[in-house]
Amino acid sequence: MASPLSKSVSLSLNAGETLGLIGQNGAGKSTLMNLIGGVVHPDSGTMQFKGTPYAPHRPSDAQAAGIAFIHQELNLFTNLSIAENIFISQFPRTGFLRSIDRGAIRRKTTELLTAVGLDLDPDIQVDRISPGAPAG
């Protein structure tokens, strides 16, 4: 991964901050996110998260640490609902048998959609929505 043109990178964020990462194609934005997200492994260097060493071996390690990101490619399960796509990697569970809590998924998805100004039914199947459909 490292090239002769590689430079050191230092990135610090405080709790509650949102970061926008911009740069030219090939600048390493996706690589950096994949390193943080445990998708790829660094050739050198170290990372820290909350003051302790951080070296995720897989995306589930990053998720367990509370780190997640949305890949730039639009890869949705078109046969599932909006809500199911949002929670596909971590469905809320309930009860003794730890069954999927569909009510919680629907409520949380409605909150998320409302927060970004989308008036969509969380239960609608993704393949029924136009990618350029206006909200509301």
30-84 pLDDT tens trace: 888 899 999 999 888 889 988 899 999 998 899 889 887 766 666 788 899 999 9
98-101's contacts with Cβ under 8 Å and 24+ in sequence apart are: none
Q: What is the mean pLDDT of the chain?
A: 83
pLDDT over 60 (residue 2): no
Residue 73 token pair: 């490619």
Residue 109: other Cβ atoms inside 10 A: 21
Percentage, residues of the chain above pLDDT 90: 29
Distant-in-sequence, close-in-space partners of 87: CB < 8 Å, separation ≥ 6 = 105, 108, 109
pLDDT over 50 (residue 98): yes
- Cα separations (Å) of 123 from 80, 95, 112? 9, 22, 13
The structure's pTM equals 0.54
pLDDT over 50 (residue 1): no
Residue 40: closest CA among 53, 31, 52, 49: 31
